[in-house]
């Protein structure tokens, strides 16, 4: 998923670069003992905070490593904005100045709508919703906004103003409508505005060798543009596109090397620096191998151009960074899952020819997040499995992490409202209250460690981004979910001591069907189809299982008092349906069967049941629970002793999302 950081002068960077006066402690912070999870609500967004548990137990050298890696991550923050849309940086910079400088009537309702708009842009790293991909429609008038721009002496071009207020222009960041040109109908900035889907397919048909057993991930770190009618790549590198930000990332990564916990960690960081300097994708593969094999130490990180969900063609990676501290107690429990990878593969219901013969080491850890940036912030995943290259996974294994303190924050902020409103009966509620947290952790572990690491392509079949195109990402997520669902009620997990009974797995079945079929629809505007890959995955799996389950008697849709409830009558039979779908999904990936992928997702995963959608919106609106959550990052302050040396790194927890975004805009704007 992610990646990071001269040695003669590197040791002085931390002292030299931060030698200026120590920055004042951020305002509005409180002690951990009085920790408040949620700070505010904006539109459909809830703003949370997370704690860096165990930071005080790290050595000073480890804290300095965490600090450098966090600074490296934040240094690339601008990149994500620009990747999401070509005008995002200009709009964000204007909003930063307007919010920071405006001296007019801040009690006016229209001003408050500007504040809300700015928060939504910060939250989504741009003017399109982070999940639905729809462009935000301002709640303020153009005339009022132009008057505020004038009052604060901020300029935006007429072209950009036209786009902000036009509900049609560039209204979808990522289009997954297979009946239209995926690129010409997407506003994302991975391609020039005049580059079409056909242009991209023709370009890669010429340069990709499907017989190569160890292919680089073509296009991962570049923007494809058309110059004089010819397609060219703008490579992300120190001397290429995004150079100023990448040079800043490199500076902090080089410094991080001086605080590395061991040689393997240091060597991986050196390769990451070399990759950023050159943009060479072969070096990216070398780095990923070194990173996967660097398993010792308490600190790890993700930094680079990683996930391809924001590219409708599935080639180009979004910039992101996550800095992690191992949670050793929790990781020890989940190590049992990774140690049994071979057993899970052998007992999977997929076709024998699609099973890996030798499952390489899968490193799984529960971690404490110390900082996030780019595509991982403010909205963050709860689990990550990397690298994404299939051949590296097969030959060298992968690293999987569960973001423990992020899950802790979600649990701290969430209440019981949705559970009680949408559960069929008291038994289901009690099962969730007793086993829900553990079942979620095991589901994530199985999804990341076993799901993403299982299965193999047939010889001569191209990579999924080439064969399955816009369906590659949702299919991969569906495959990983189905692996988890198939095994989570297996007695093997009880034998391994991961759960006391299969009641834990049943709790996940209850929750998964509710979420995939109903609850996630809270995130969709009425009349819209599902576009986001994970949502398409979940609806496909849940809708398929319910359809087959109703026919077999495993599932019943119960109507009571005008509301719909899902009752699972036979968990083992439902498991068989999950297994059948898993076999087919793996076949589609292994054989590169685009037609079957299209049929599967267009049948089950794209179109919304309007009656269920309206019901879900009505039932959930009264609970006032935001469908999306995102985070204010902790902040780190360097403390120096009387000799002027670094004595400690202090962590504080800001309460104000706006203050942090404005501070980031001043400190980490390099593009």
* Nearest to 664, CA basis, from 99, 212, 115: 99
CB 545 within 8 A of CB 537: no
Q: Which of 8-12, 173-177, 474-478, 652-656 has the lowest mean pLDDT?
A: 8-12
Going from the C-alpha of 243 to that of each of 76, 236, 276, 280, 321, the distances in angstroms are 10, 7, 9, 14, 17
- Nearest-angstrom CA–CA distance, 480 and 391: 17
pLDDT higher than threshold 70 for residue 154: yes
First and final C-alpha spacing in the chain: 23
Q: Note the pLDDT of residue 361.
A: 64
- Is the Cα torsion angle 451, 628, 511, 551 positive or negative in sign? negative
pLDDT one-digit tens code per residue, 463-477: 898 899 999 999 999
Q: Which of 109-118, 197-206, 394-403, 574-583 has the lowest mean pLDDT?
A: 394-403
Domain assignment of residue 620, yes or no:
yes
- To which residue do tokens 């990397």 refer? 386
Burial class (CB in 10 A: 0-12, 13-18, 19+), 617: middle
- Tell me phi and psi for residue 26, to 5 degrees: -55, 145
Which band of pLDDT confidence, cut at 50, 70 and 90, is reported for residue 415? low
DSSP 443-476: HHHIIIIIITT---PPTTPPPHHHHTGGGHHHHH
Average pLDDT over residues 252-260: 98
Buried b (16+ CB within 10 A) or exposed e, 424-462: beeebbebbeebbebbbbbbbbbbbbbbbbbbbbeeebb
| Sheet (strand 628-632) strand order | 38-42, 45-49, 628-632
What's the chain's average pLDDT?
91
Q: Note the pLDDT of residue 20.
A: 32
* Helices 426-445 and 328-339, packing angle to 10 deg: 80
Domain assignment of residue 352, yes or no:
yes
CB 382 within 8 A of CB 410: yes
* Nearest to 521, CA basis, from 635, 453, 618: 618
pLDDT one-digit tens code per residue, 418-445: 899 999 999 999 999 999 989 988 998 8
Higher-pLDDT residue of 222, 357: 222
Residues 6+ apart with CB under 8 A from 110: 139, 140, 141, 144
Q: How far is CA 534 from the centre of its chain?
A: 10
Domain assignment of residue 180, yes or no:
no
Higher-pLDDT residue of 361, 507: 507
- Nearest-angstrom CA–CA distance, 116 and 139: 9
pLDDT higher than threshold 80 for residue 308: yes
3-state secondary structure 52-113: CCCHHHCCHHHHHHHHHHHHHHHHCHHHHHHHHCCCHHHHHHHHHHHHHHCCCCCCCHHHHH
Average pLDDT over residues 254-278: 98
Going from the C-alpha of 489 to that of each of 483, 498, 557, the distances in angstroms are 11, 11, 22
pLDDT higher than threshold 70 for residue 11: no
> How many CA atoms are closer than 13 Å to the CA of 331, on its beta-carbon side?
19
Residues 6+ apart with CB under 8 A from 606: 176, 529, 530, 536
Q: Which of 37-51, 184-198, 349-363 has the lowest mean pLDDT?
A: 349-363
Domain assignment of residue 28, yes or no:
no
- Nearest-angstrom CA–CA distance, 660 and 298: 28
Going from the C-alpha of 59 to that of each of 63, 261, 297, 636, the distances in angstroms are 6, 10, 12, 15
Q: Which two tokens stand for residue 645?
A: 């040396």
Buried b (16+ CB within 10 A) or exposed e, 198-233: ebbeebbeeebeeeeeebebbbbbbbbbeeeeebeb
Domain assignment of residue 618, yes or no:
yes
User: Domain count of the chain?
Assistant: 2
Domain assignment of residue 71, yes or no:
no
CB 248 within 8 A of CB 255: no
Average pLDDT over residues 262-266: 98
pLDDT one-digit tens code per residue, 607-649: 999 999 999 999 988 888 888 999 999 999 999 998 999 999 9
Which band of pLDDT confidence, cut at 50, 70 and 90, is reported for residue 330? low
Last residue of a domain, one of 118, 147, 165: 165
Residue-number span of the structural domain to which 105 is assigned: 88-126+136-165
Q: Note the pLDDT of residue 417.
A: 85
Domain assignment of residue 339, yes or no:
yes
Q: Note the pLDDT of residue 177.
A: 86
Q: Can you give the C-alpha Rg of the chain in angstroms? A: 24
Q: Note the pLDDT of residue 327.
A: 82
pLDDT higher than threshold 90 for residue 33: no
Burial class (CB in 10 A: 0-12, 13-18, 19+), 385: buried
Q: Note the pLDDT of residue 395.
A: 92
- Nearest-angstrom CA–CA distance, 478 and 488: 15
Q: Which of 34-43, 262-271, 275-284, 592-601 has the lowest mean pLDDT?
A: 34-43
Q: Note the pLDDT of residue 464.
A: 92
């Amino acid at each position: 998923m992610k990646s990071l950081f001269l040695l003669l002068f590197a040791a002085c960077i931390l002292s030299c670069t931060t030698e200026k006066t120590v920055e004042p402690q951020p305002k509005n912070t409180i002690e951990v003992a009085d920790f408040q999870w949620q700070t505010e609500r904006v539109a459909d967004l809830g703003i949370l905070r997370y704690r860096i548990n165990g930071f005080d137990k790290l050595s000073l050298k480890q804290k300095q490593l965490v600090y450098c890696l966090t600074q490296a991550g934040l240094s690339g923050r601008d990149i994500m904005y620009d990747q999401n849309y070509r005008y995002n940086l200009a709009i964000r910079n204007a909003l930063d100045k307007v919010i920071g400088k405006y001296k007019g009537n801040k009690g006016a309702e229209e001003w408050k709508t500007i504040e809300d708009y700015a928060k939504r842009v910060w939250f989504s790293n741009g003017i399109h919703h982070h999940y639905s991909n729809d462009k935000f429609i301002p709640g303020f008038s153009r005339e009022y906004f132009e008057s505020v721009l004038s009052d604060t002496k901020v300029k935006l071009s007429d072209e950009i103003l036209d786009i902000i207020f036009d509900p049609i222009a560039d209204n979808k960041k990522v289009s997954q409508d297979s009946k239209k040109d995926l690129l010409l109908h997407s506003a994302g900035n991975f391609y020039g505005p005049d580059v079409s889907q056909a242009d991209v397919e023709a370009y890669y048909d010429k340069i990709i060798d499907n017989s190569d057993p160890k292919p680089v991930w073509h296009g991962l770190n570049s923007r494809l543009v058309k110059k004089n009618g010819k397609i060219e790549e703008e490579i992300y590198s120190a001397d290429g596109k995004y150079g100023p930000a990448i040079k800043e990332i490199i500076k902090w990564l080089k410094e991080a090397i001086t605080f590395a916990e061991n040689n393997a960690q240091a060597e991986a960081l050196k390769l990451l620096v070399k990759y950023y300097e050159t943009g060479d994708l072969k070096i990216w593969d070398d780095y990923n191998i070194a990173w996967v094999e660097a398993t010792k130490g308490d600190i790890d990180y993700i930094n680079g151009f990683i996930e391809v969900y924001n590219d409708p063609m599935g080639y180009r990676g979004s910039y992101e960074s996550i800095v992690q501290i191992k949670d050793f107690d929790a990781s020890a429990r989940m190590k049992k899952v990774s140690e049994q990878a071979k057993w899970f593969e052998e007992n999977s219901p997929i076709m024998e020819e699609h099973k890996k013969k030798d499952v390489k080491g899968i490193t799984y850890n529960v971690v404490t997040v110390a900082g996030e940036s780019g595509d991982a912030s403010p909205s963050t995943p709860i689990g990550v499995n990397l690298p994404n290259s299939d051949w590296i996974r097969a030959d060298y294994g992968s690293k999987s992490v569960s973001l423990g303190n992020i899950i802790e924050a979600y649990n701290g902020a969430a209440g019981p409202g949705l559970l009680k409103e949408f559960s069929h009966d008291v038994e289901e509620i009690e099962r969730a209250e007793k086993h829900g947290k553990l079942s979620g952790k095991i589901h994530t572990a199985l999804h990341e460690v076993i799901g993403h690491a299982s299965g193999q392509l047939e010889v001569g079949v191209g990579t999924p981004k080439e064969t399955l195109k816009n369906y590659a990402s949702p299919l991969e997520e569906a495959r990983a979910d189905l692996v988890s669902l198939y095994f989570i009620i297996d007695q093997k997990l009880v034998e391994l001591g991961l759960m006391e009974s299969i009641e834990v797995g049943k709790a996940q079945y209850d929750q998964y069907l509710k979420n995939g079929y109903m609850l996630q629809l809270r995130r969709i505007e009425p009349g819209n189809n599902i576009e986001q890959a994970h949502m398409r995955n979940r609806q496909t799996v849940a809708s398929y299982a319910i359809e087959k389950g109703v026919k077999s008697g495993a599932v019943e849709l119960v109507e009571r008092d005008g509301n719909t409830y899902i009752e699972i009558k036979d968990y083992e039979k439902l498991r068989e349906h999950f297994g059948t779908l898993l076999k087919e999904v793996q076949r589609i990936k292994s054989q590169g069967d685009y037609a079957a992928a299209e049929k599967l997702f267009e049948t089950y995963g794209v179109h919304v049941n309007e009656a269920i959608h309206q019901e879900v919106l009505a039932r959930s609106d009264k609970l006032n629970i935001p469908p999306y959550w995102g985070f204010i990052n902790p902040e780190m302050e360097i403390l120096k002793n009387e000799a002027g040396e670094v004595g400690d790194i202090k962590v504080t927890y800001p309460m104000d999302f706006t203050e942090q975004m404005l501070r980031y805009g001043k400190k980490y704007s390099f593009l």
